[in-house]
Structure 1
Amino acid sequence: MPAQWTGELVGRMHNAGISKKRLAAFMGKNEKYVSQVLNGHCEPKHAEQEYNAALDELIAEKNRKEG
């Protein structure tokens, strides 16, 4: 079962219009691997902090471009 943080992250991604493909590319990770983490099939150490930090950066970047 996926951790709660993954559901929250996916919700934030949806609200910001950021795809798993974009997140994976930004993080330099394979899209399938990112899907495994977000679906709870893989639980690497520090993933919550790493994924949230990457998404925060992508959202900030998007806001700067739109602002």
Structure 2
Amino acid sequence: MIDTPDSSSRRKAASSGGEAGLEEARLRQQAIGVKLRHMFDEVVNEPVPDEFLDILRRADDKAGA
């Protein structure tokens, strides 16, 4: 195959486009990770419902008896 200025510039554009695509994918994954951590933190910081605490207390009482 003969390299012409046109064909080599197309290859460069394709490789830089691939790098740009990878960077875009990394940024997208990073944004998803930030949103997931934010959602997880909200759930972790929610108070435990009283009904669930009662269930846990009863289970502890049975295990101790």
TM-score in same-fold range (> 0.5): no
Question: TM-score, normalising length from structure 1?
Answer: 0.33
Q: Greater CA radius of gyration, 1 or 2?
A: 2
Question: TM-score, normalising length from structure 2?
Answer: 0.34
Bigger share in helix: 2
More RCO (CA 8 Å, sep 6+) = 1
